Structure 1
Amino acid sequence: MMGQGLKPVNEVKAGNVVAIRGLGPYISKSATLSSTRNCWPLASMEFQVSPTLRVAIEPSDPSDMSALMKGLRLLNRADPFVEITVSARGEHVLAAAGEVHLERCIKDLTDRFARVNIEVSSPLVSYRETIEGDGSNLLESLRSLSLNASDYVEKRTPNGRCVIRVHVMKLPHSLTKLLDESTDLLGDIIGGKGSHSIKILESQSPSLEENVDPVEALKSQLVEAGVSSSSETENDREKCKAEWAKLLKRIWALGPREKGPNILFAPDGKRICEDGSILVRGSPHVSQRLGFTEDSTETPPDSALYSEALTLESSIVSGFQLATASGPLCDEPMWGLAFTIESHLAEDSETEKQPENFGIFTGQVMTAVKDACRAAVLQTNPRIVEAMYFCELNTAPEYLGPMYAVLSRRRARVLKEEMQEGSSLFTVHAYVPVSESFGFAEELRKGTSGGASALMVLSHWEMLEEDPFFVPKTEEEIEEFGDGASVLPNTARKLINAVRRRKGLHVEEKVVQHATKQRTLARKV
């Protein structure tokens, strides 16, 4: 390749850029070509952040879908940063770096690659679901997971043979962050890819010594992260650390997708209950992989009921995975929660040995576990979690007022403000929700007449403190927030309703607030 021209050659020396024809059907984004199979593949391009702006696209004319698919494949090869996926609803989702990048991708699709008219949806923003609290009082939370705790949710399978009890607690923020950042490593460790996981951890943590086992390093981080943010005294901290280390030996699974920031603990109780039912205890598979406990050598009792209980373990884990993948608020993944699921399996009665009328029994257990986990979250004051951008703004002193006005309208939280040394410019650091960032740069330029500039980087997940189901009830609340139509709009509720409306879920909205009120439009002459 020489500029915009092409020159056919038989061979090329090192240091030149070449174009090879005929490889399109075999390469999706990047590949390594070699004359020998023993050649190590070259690493693909790595970026510090992943695409955050996602939209769903479809052709204006449904008959142009094949042309759009071909154009998306060409765009995926041409742009190393863009990501194209298919959602569970069958939508083609295009992920870009920002608004300018997205505009460029849509223009390339329309004019060069697909050459068809395209309908673009509003930006798709990801959320998470959790419960109220910060997880700082870990000792109190650990007691809530015990078998004797009264705050649990109970569900029963349609045939009545299995009773599900679910306890839920909030994980400390430091532990949730560690699990969220170590998803790839945890997936490799749990999946058994030991050597590959070691390379990943060494690349992520270059400061580790050569003789440090990466699994042991992650193990110690999990122990410390559980108690580092606790607010107990020194004596209670040691007790809390011992209880937490004991609980880490019972990790049954992680979710969603078996490597997320939610934990399923195996129940710790008697195998055979007083009423003759069997407790499905499960096996601490994740704890064994991480080295918290050794492989269990328990001899199983020789009974048909116990053998049936063993077959239900995978159904319980599947129900947990389904629940953590779609929470009760708006079907978004759960974040930073720990569950203990107790499943009591009873003997078949003579009437229940008839042909099953409620479907396969394992499917009944899976559905009951999913519903119980979602109900437990709803019972413990659920909250919505939104992604946050770290925003750095530079502006002159005369534009500080308009800049703060724009930040206030975007629900931004200002961290600090300082003057740059040797100049009159101010630097402001703030957190801006991702859902409020669309059109932020343009509004900032208009509000400050081009006197302020912003740089945004994806930072972290942050829980929104507002209760999405808040309704003023007491006299003080009614006096402060109003009653009926005078209540100020709830931000959390608006976000949840927007996501539910986009996904086609039921939205509880009143069309008529007060049917008995009458509005008279008097026309005065």
Structure 2
Amino acid sequence: MTHVRAFSSDTHIFRPLKFNTISVCKVAIEPIKPSELPKMTHGLRCINKSYPLCVTKVEESGEHIILGTGELYLDCVLHDLRVMYSEIEIKVSDPVVSFCETVEECSSITCQATTKNKKNSLSMICEPLHSDIAKDIVEEKVSIEWSGRKLAQYFEQEYGWDALAGRNIWAFGPEKNGANILMDDTLPSEVDKSRLNEIRSSVVQGFEWATREGPLCDEPIRNCKFKLINAQIAENAFDFGGGQIIPTARRCIYSSFMLATPKLMEPILFVETLCPPDCIKAIEDVVSHRRGRILKEVPKPGSPFILVYAELPAIDSFGFETDLRSHTHGQAFALQVFSRWDIVPGDPMDDTITLMPLEPHPPHKLAKEFVVKTRKRKGLSETITYHKYFDDEMMKQFAALYDDQD
């Protein structure tokens, strides 16, 4: 017993696995016979143990979702689910990809949200977060568990932040290594810091909730910095509990996000193709047809082959290898891996865009198309309603802002 107590609380049986890629491709599944749902659920639990990179979850619509790194990975997962673990027939949806939500500019006005009891209010703004900072957070080069002094020193040395800003970082989100930052930017002369600290955990919970499910299409928020500008807190502790503060913080984050030129981000795959020199033109045609671009072409030492490096949007990568081999008569072999997130062309909030079914859309309509289709798939309404995220007073300011612009 003494020996067991000597272990620290951070001791684990196995160290969590870390991967150089993430799962961005997903399919929805359901059993052909509804009575076999328990068998499929058991099979999904087995899949989680057999495939470390595979993620299984249930959407709010009730759909069972499987996420994998690519088309071949999902084929292997579904084969094992059907044949080895559940031994049932499964209906599979068309593959789609995960998206992220981000902003391009700072919030046009300071956004305020009031609690339901009208006794507390929070004010925030949203700004873009530098991609290098987001990358450091995701790769755990910096941790929110560091002391305020160490955080301030890191951001001051690496990114030129002032020491006060580094000390006032409250959280990374949606997880401890999430690519968003929540900061306290309030002034001691305007806000009672001791009472602000009492609601800090509730504000952080609202921040994590909001960044896990963004306002555009319930996809995670990425590369955003949220600053708490002001807070009015009730005198009685009973009036600023978590039930009041958490949804208010979430709504305040959403409203500041919506006024900072929101954009949609899609996963980009790095593609390495091995082929003979006479196949390069065919590869360029296939890649360009799928919104991709060729990075470079280099000879493979000691062989007559060429290595073609390219980037390809993950949503346009399904069927890429089959297409590639048919155009090169089986002479080209491709390897795909997640590379980075990139902004989807177009404005996801443009209500003037009309989407026609079963028609390819030009680049400036892609963001709107992806948002609408993702919302439909998740059982949400096609249009994003501002009234959900803005108080009445904020709606008046919002309307006045657009009247001035007109």
Q: Which residue is equivalent to 1:440?
A: 320
Q: Match for 1:427 among 292, 303, 307? A: 307
Matched, 1:85 2:56: yes
Q: Match for 1:109 among 69, 81, 90? A: 81
Contact 1:170 1:336 in 2 (8 A): yes
Contact 2:152 2:165 in 1 (8 A): no
Contact 1:157 1:365 in 2 (8 A): yes
Superposition deviation, residue 131 in structure 1: 0.8
Matched, 1:60 2:43: no
Structure 1 pair 84–444 and aligned structure 2 pair: CA distance change class (3 A):
same
Superposition deviation, residue 431 in structure 1: 1.3
| Aligned sequence identity (%) | 29
TM-score (norm 2): 0.77
The within-5 A match list for 1:178-257 is 178-182=136-140, 186=143, 189=145, 222-226=155-159, 241=160, 243-257=161-175
Q: Which residue is equivalent to 1:172?
A: 130
Contact 1:72 1:84 in 2 (8 A): no
Q: Which residue is equivalent to 2:369?
A: 494
Q: Deviations over 1:133-175 (max 9, x none)?
A: 6xxxxxxx7xx9xxxxx83112233443223211111121111
Structure 1 pair 128–82 and aligned structure 2 pair: CA distance change class (3 A):
closer
Cα distance in 2, alignment partners of residues 444 and 267 from structure 1: 52
Structure 1 range deviating more: 160-169 or 106-115: 106-115
**What RMSD in Å do the two structures reach over aligned CA positions?**
3.7
The within-5 A match list for 1:373-522 is 373-420=253-300, 425-470=305-350, 488=362, 490-508=365-383
Contact 2:345 2:366 in 1 (8 A): no
Superposition deviation, residue 465 in structure 1: 4.8
Contact 1:256 1:321 in 2 (8 A): yes
Q: Which residue is equivalent to 1:336?
A: 223
Contact 1:162 1:343 in 2 (8 A): no
Cα distance in 1, alignment partners of residues 339 and 217 from structure 2: 23
Contact 2:185 2:229 in 1 (8 A): yes
Unmatched tracts of structure 1, length 5 or more:
1-37, 134-140, 145-149, 193-214, 227-240, 274-278, 282-299, 301-305, 474-484, 510-525
Letter in 1 for 2:44: L
Q: Which residue is equivalent to 2:243?
A: 363
TM-score (norm 1): 0.61
Larger radius of gyration: 1
Structure 1 pair 82–383 and aligned structure 2 pair: CA distance change class (3 A):
closer
Superposition deviation, residue 364 in structure 1: 3.4
Contact 1:84 1:92 in 2 (8 A): no
The within-5 A match list for 1:123-142 is 123-132=95-104
Superposition deviation, residue 269 in structure 1: 0.6
**Corresponding residue pairs, total:** 366
Superposition deviation, residue 334 in structure 1: 1.0
Q: Deviations over 1:106-132 (max 9, x none)?
A: 233333432222122233422111111
**Higher RCO (CA < 8 A, seq sep 6+):** 2
Contact 2:29 2:63 in 1 (8 A): yes
Matched, 1:99 2:71: yes
Cα distance in 2, alignment partners of residues 497 and 491 from structure 1: 10
Cα distance in 2, alignment partners of residues 49 and 315 from structure 1: 32
Unmatched tracts of structure 2, length 5 or more:
1-6, 354-358, 385-406
Contact 2:202 2:242 in 1 (8 A): yes
Contact 2:170 2:184 in 1 (8 A): yes
2:77 is paired with a residue of what secondary structure?
helix
Q: Deviations over 1:211-233 (max 9, x none)?
A: xxxx96x876544442xxxxxxx
Cα distance in 2, alignment partners of residues 131 and 63 from structure 1: 44
2:287 is paired with a residue of what secondary structure?
helix
Cα distance in 2, alignment partners of residues 92 and 472 from structure 1: 34
Cα distance in 1, alignment partners of residues 167 and 47 from structure 2: 47
1:455 is paired with a residue of what secondary structure?
strand
Q: Which has the higher strand share?
A: 2
Structure 1 pair 82–471 and aligned structure 2 pair: CA distance change class (3 A):
closer
